[in-house]
Amino acid sequence: MSHDFLQPLTGSFACPAAENPTVAMIEAAFRHHGLPWRYINCEVAPEDLGAAVAGARAMGWRGFNCSIPHKVAVIDHLDGLGDSARIIGAVNTIVARDGKLIGENTDGKGFVRALRQICDPAGHRAVVLGAGGAARAVAVELALAGVTHLTIVNRSAARGETLARLITEKTPAEAVYHPWDGTFAIPAGTGIVVNATSVGLYPDVEATPDIDHDSLQPDMVVADGIHNPPRTRLLQAAQARGCRTADGLGMLVGQGVIGLKYWTGIDADAEVMRQALLDLDL
Ligand code: NDP
């Protein structure tokens, strides 16, 4: 009987890495689909990123994720970028294609994939809270998915204005920046509201973005990027007002499904991956 003890490798480079649950989700999918692949969660300091990428190349890794603080810095160590990663200016998924390491960004694609289970974003107007890395990815992918108008609400004007300009110049959508100085009322006619700030993230789970909950209308879809905890105070408030909601676990699963497709070619079972995350009891 012949054996093959050489497992195809994927993984993640981040700092800190210990609280990242992606390994549980991806390895659950590998097991479920009978793939002998592995996902290695690695703590990589900023000054070691180049060596880590060289190591992945040397060992023939099929691909890997990059998380905080490597999403922009990793670009210098890659051979090319996918279209939306180029617009976003950040990479979270690296794919080995024909011996080249290509950077993709699945944060926003995963978000849109999860959102599509609830509504088609095309033709809607959206409000994006935040202008950091997650907000950039989400806003660009919403624009590429056909959202017509985005309002970027952020404390830092510089980051908010930069993101609004990026959307208007590089995508078919129009975007404006709105300062976040006091409670923000969601404008009537908004179809999609996204919290892409870090507000509500464990351990500060009682925190909620400073928006007027009474401005949430039942025909709005409210989404949260925070996956820990999945049922944020914002989503609870939105549900209480009759809005449909999309949680951060859906975004995390969505980007995992897309990453697995890039690496292995399979359409992974999103429910198995979501259950693997729920089993962690975040
Ligand atoms: P960044 O540090 O790049 O950006 C943080 C953003 O949050 C900025 O816009 C910042 O505003 C804003 N912010 C922070 N604190 C406050 C506050 N008190 N009030 C208003 N705005 C605030 O982080 P990322 O964009 O990388 O990540 C943001 C969150 O997205 C993370 O908490 C993470 O959990 C989540 N995320 C989820 C993913 C998923 O798959 N579910 C994937 C990636 C991220 P300012 O510019 O003014 O400082």
Write down the mean pLDDT value for the chain.
Answer: 96
What pLDDT is recorded for position 113?
96
Tokens of 20: 């990242």
CA atoms within 13 A on the CB side of 252: 26
Say which amino acid occupies 229: P
- Angle at 271 (CA atoms; ends 201, 242), nearest 5 degrees: 60
2-11, 30-39, 44-53, 156-165: least confidently modelled range: 2-11
Share of the chain above pLDDT 90, in %: 95
State the pLDDT confidence band at 47, using cuts at 50, 70 and 90.
very high
136 lines ligand 1 (CB under 6 A): no
User: Span 153-170, mean pLDDT?
Assistant: 97
Strands 9-14 and 63-66: parallel
What pLDDT is recorded for position 2?
79
Task: Please tell me the residue having the least CA distance from ligand 1 atom 40.
Answer: 252
State the pLDDT confidence band at 234, using cuts at 50, 70 and 90.
very high
pLDDT digits 0-9 by tens, 236-267: 999 999 999 999 999 999 999 999 999 999 99
Q: Distance between CA atoms of 33 and 27, rounded to whole angstroms?
A: 10
Tokens of 37: 């692949």
> Is the Cβ–Cβ distance between 94 and 101 less than 8 Å?
yes
State the pLDDT confidence band at 281, using cuts at 50, 70 and 90.
confident
State the pLDDT confidence band at 218, using cuts at 50, 70 and 90.
very high
- Measured in Å, residue 174 CA sits from the centre of ligand 1 at 22
230 lines ligand 1 (CB under 6 A): no
**pLDDT surpassing 80 at residue 51:** yes
Strands 63-66 and 93-97: antiparallel
What pLDDT is recorded for position 1?
73
| 127-142 residues labelled b (16+ CB within 10 A) or e (exposed) | bbbbbebbbbbbbbbb
pLDDT digits 0-9 by tens, 180-216: 999 999 999 999 999 999 999 989 999 999 999 999 9
pLDDT digits 0-9 by tens, 107-140: 999 999 999 999 999 999 999 999 999 999 999 9
65 lines ligand 1 (CB under 6 A): no
Pocket probe mutation, ligand 1, options 71, 109, 180, 198, max atoms within 8 Å of Cβ: 198
> Is the Cβ–Cβ distance between 126 and 111 less than 8 Å?
no
215 lines ligand 1 (CB under 6 A): no
> Is the Cβ–Cβ distance between 163 and 134 less than 8 Å?
no
